[in-house]
Structure 1
Amino acid sequence: MELPPLTMEQLSMLVASNSPPSQLFEALTEYEQEACLMTETGGKKEVIRGDIQLLSLFYSSFFFVHLLTDQVPEARALTKRMPKSLTQQDIALQNCMTLLRAVWQTEHGQVYQILRGSPWPERLQPLIKRYESFFQDKTLISVSRSYETIRLPVAAGYLGLDQQLVEQEDPNIIANFTNCGWKWDPDTKLLHPKPIMVRPAATQPNNGIREAMGMLGSRAS
């Protein structure tokens, strides 16, 4: 089906939709050529011929959709295709590249700090929230398979949970793990992870890993 022209309204509707990341990826892939035509390069000079805000939202949205579809190397390649004259002045795209470095280096604390503390356009917030949830769930699955025992502050740090509540051993914090089948030992102050198994990607529902697991508790952050 042919997509309507790339406009701020159309792009905002896509970003705010609850469409599966794979469908968003397909749509934005089709729009990339149109976005490229908004930039003209002659010799060493690059000129933006289109709406700068539209281009910023397109490339930042496409970047997050790459992350949501677990295509980190491809997201890195996308940053190379972004218009240099735009990335040099656009805060959202600069934040994307900072986030990419943190994700690439698996710096969990920095990932949450960038997602929550950096200035992002309001229109981009739906994808940011979706990716934070995706990153938490993916990390939780990885941690569940990597540790036999783990201290609560360390486990909570992987998920970017509130450290003050962690120190208080808040039940809601602990429930993030016990709801996944982990065991909490109040005497040793240790969590005993249970490997989290997920269904194949082809059968996962639209909202990502959390729904696929079907057993995660609410996040306390």
Structure 2
Amino acid sequence: MELPPLSIEQLSKLAASNVFPSQLYGILSEYETDARLVAAGSGSPETGSADPELLSLFYATFFFAHLLTKQIPEARALTERMPASIRHQDPSLQNCLTLLRAIWQTEHAQVYQALRNLPWPESLQPLVRRYECFFQDQTLIAVSTSYEAIRLPTAAMYLGLDTAAAEQADPTIVQKFTDCGWKWDSETKLLHPVPIIVPSVESQPSNGIRDAMAMLGNRG
């Protein structure tokens, strides 16, 4: 299926869609050549030329597609391909760089701070929220297989939960972990993780970009 022209409307629809991350990544990969033409000032009549708003949304959306497919080094390479004219000036792309730095340095608290507190534009909000959930899930899985016992405030920090409440053994925070099968020792104030094994959400058969575009079309 031929892709629609690269546009802010199309990118916004992609950002808000529920297509699999690999499909989102594949679609945006197809658009990168168009984005480079726009950056060079030789875009198509549909895209216009050197459109900073379009380029900002494209590269920020593509950046999150890299994160959602766990391609962190590739996301870093993408930031180097962003047009210099907007990379150091555009707020969304600056936010992406801040977020990438926190992820690269495995600073969990700073990752959540970047996702929750930086001024992301409305069109990117669905991807920001989607990645926050993804990051939490991946972190929970990693912690569950890395610790035999862990303090509740430490576990809360990894998931971006209220560490002050966790210090007081807040039952609602304890329950978030026990709901995952973890054991809580109220005497030692320790959590005992149970390894979490999650099947791939992309294990369903798919025709890739064709299916993804059909899903987008169904959104009207």
Query: TM exceeds 0.5?
Result: yes
Counterpart in the other structure of 2:160: 160
> CA offset at residue 62 of structure 1?
0.3
Q: Where in structure 2 are there 5+ consecutive unaligned residues?
A: 42-47, 207-220
TM-score by length of 1: 0.86
Give percent identity, aligned residues only: 65
Instruction: Assess if the C-alpha contact under 8 Å between 2:20 and 2:202 holds in 1.
Output: no
> CA offset at residue 157 of structure 1?
0.3
> CA offset at residue 108 of structure 1?
0.5
Q: Deviations over 1:54-84 (max 9, x none)?
A: 1101100100110000000110110010001
Equivalent position SS for 2:40: strand
Q: Deviations over 1:178-213 (max 9, x none)?
A: 11110001111110011111224642799xxxxxxx
Equivalent position SS for 1:191: strand
In angstroms, what is the RMSD of aligned CA positions?
1.9
* Structure 2 Cα separation of the partners of residues 15 and 202 of structure 1: 18
**1:89 and 2:121 aligned:** no
* Structure 2 Cα separation of the partners of residues 173 and 25 of structure 1: 34
Counterpart in the other structure of 1:64: 64
**Residues 205, 156 of structure 1: CA spacing in aligned structure 2 closer, same or farther, 3 A cutoff?**
farther
Counterpart in the other structure of 1:142: 142
Q: Deviations over 1:77-101 (max 9, x none)?
A: 1001000111121011011011111
Runs of 4+ in 1 over 3 A off after TM superposition: none
Equivalent runs, 1:1-221 vs 2, <5 Å: 1-40=1-40, 49-200=49-200, 202-203=202-203
* Structure 1 Cα separation of the partners of residues 61 and 39 of structure 2: 18
Instruction: Assess if the C-alpha contact under 8 Å between 2:149 and 2:191 holds in 1.
Output: yes
> CA offset at residue 158 of structure 1?
0.3
**Residues 9, 157 of structure 1: CA spacing in aligned structure 2 closer, same or farther, 3 A cutoff?**
same
Counterpart in the other structure of 1:211: none
Q: Where in structure 1 are there 5+ consecutive unaligned residues?
A: 42-47, 207-221
In the alignment of these two chains, the number of paired residues is: 200
Instruction: Assess if the C-alpha contact under 8 Å between 2:153 and 2:164 holds in 1.
Output: no
**Residues 116, 205 of structure 1: CA spacing in aligned structure 2 closer, same or farther, 3 A cutoff?**
farther
Equivalent position SS for 2:184: strand
**Residues 143, 129 of structure 1: CA spacing in aligned structure 2 closer, same or farther, 3 A cutoff?**
same
> CA offset at residue 166 of structure 1?
1.7
Counterpart of 2:120, as a letter, is W
* Structure 2 Cα separation of the partners of residues 169 and 51 of structure 1: 51
* Structure 2 Cα separation of the partners of residues 200 and 118 of structure 1: 30
Instruction: Assess if the C-alpha contact under 8 Å between 2:39 and 2:51 holds in 1.
Output: no
